Structure 1
């Protein structure tokens, strides 16, 4: 066997090894990403337009499974509360225990403890609410509003109920991180900067972006490794045919 043949064979075996490793790592990342997402997230279909334009009726979203104590102002959460019909509801948290939530100031903005809050996610931006209200949120409770304030049945509707229309933190079952369907509405749900300067700030982004990165990287390694292995195999066969042809020629 010539030196060129030995070198070519060594490179071929190395290529096949690298291809196999890439596919194996890709499978771990790809499948692991899906398992991780299934453990951390729950799918939810939004039934109404009360949270438009952030999420619309019929949108399929992913809600991170979080404890109610992790929720911050600005989060879009899914919760269950008997006073709200005991069915999953999606709303935005605007006030937490101890806050005084009021609407509206002279500029038509929502205020938290007297501080106006910018809400660029609202469907109608000229006024945070056409219903004038003021509520103090009890400790351990959350005050929730829809982004489509004209159509949303939220804490304003329940002001006469116990706890000034708020719901307990333990009623929260998830925090919505992204819309995944339909494709035209797909995207991450950003944490609003308007609440960032208030005590407690806003919550950190969830792990969904890292999960999607792992799945995407895994898919790339699987396809890339498989393609590299196939190309290497074809080249090896061609090299063998050329060698055999030269021997018998």
Structure 2
């Protein structure tokens, strides 16, 4: 009977460790397949993404993103490195600044953006004037969340209304992974949902994958610890 209990204990421990390893390793593998890391050197997207953060971005086509999505992109007219900004307008939109409350408007509708840096809540650059830009088809109007310092579509209004081709989009940002103390997912925003047309898109499986990795690691540790505790108790009883 004792031998049967011992075998059962061992089987349960092995199952726990196996399931935990599957979650841990499988989560890491799927994370590597589904996401790409990008380093953000500036504070143009602060506080959503801080300087020095490494973000995780899900590769998507530019035609698949919507207003409010945070994207990684490159455009030779903006610079040589990949950049991170938020989509404010898509093809056909008219983006303007500002209404009487200092809010950006899209097709005449003011947008309340809760993610903006508190020190720069409006779409006006320091010393800048109001603007209105019609977004051509197949292009995107972008701004940073730290509006007073971000060099974005407002800085390039003379070049195709400050927009970039949606073909330059590399990925959609869905979370930060480094530093570990601030690692988190970045939720889809509802700020533009009241504006008819292309809204922010649903995010990928980043959060479930993170839970699979954390849960798998916890299950491995708990199973190993439980086996150690049971073994010590058995030795104590038999002594």
Alpha-carbon deviation of 1:88? 0.4
Q: Which residue of 2 aligns with 1:42?
A: 36
Q: CA contact under 8 A between 2:93 and 2:107: conserved in structure 1?
A: yes
Q: Which residue of 2 aligns with 1:179?
A: 176
What number of residue pairs does the alignment pair up?
234
Q: Which residue of 2 aligns with 1:129?
A: 124
Alpha-carbon deviation of 1:68? 1.8
- The 1:126–1:201 alpha-carbon spacing in structure 2 relative to 1, beyond 3 Å, is closer
- Of 199, 202, 205 in structure 2, the residue corresponding to residue 201 of structure 1 is 199
5+ residue gaps, structure 1, are 1-5, 243-249
Alpha-carbon deviation of 1:33? 0.5
Query: How far apart in 1 are the matches of 2:226 and 2:131?
Result: 64
The yes-or-no answer on 1:92 pairing with 2:90 is no
The yes-or-no answer on 1:53 pairing with 2:62 is no
5+ residue gaps, structure 2, are none
Q: Which residue of 2 aligns with 1:76?
A: 70
Q: CA contact under 8 A between 1:195 and 1:202: conserved in structure 2?
A: yes
Q: Deviations over 1:60-109 (max 9, x none)?
A: 22112222222111111110111111310111100011101011112211
Query: How far apart in 1 are the matches of 2:28 and 2:76?
Result: 33
Greater shift in the superposed pair: 23-32 or 181-190: 181-190
Query: How far apart in 2 are the matches of 1:220 and 1:150?
Result: 43
TM-score normalised according to structure 1 size: 0.87
Alpha-carbon deviation of 1:238? 4.2
Q: CA contact under 8 A between 1:43 and 1:60: conserved in structure 2?
A: yes
- The 1:64–1:109 alpha-carbon spacing in structure 2 relative to 1, beyond 3 Å, is same
Which structure has the larger Rg over C-alpha atoms?
A: 1
Give the RMSD, CA atoms, in angstroms.
Answer: 1.7
Q: CA contact under 8 A between 2:120 and 2:147: conserved in structure 1?
A: no
- The 1:135–1:173 alpha-carbon spacing in structure 2 relative to 1, beyond 3 Å, is same
Alpha-carbon deviation of 1:126? 4.8
- The 1:153–1:93 alpha-carbon spacing in structure 2 relative to 1, beyond 3 Å, is same
Q: Which residue of 1 aligns with 2:20?
A: 26
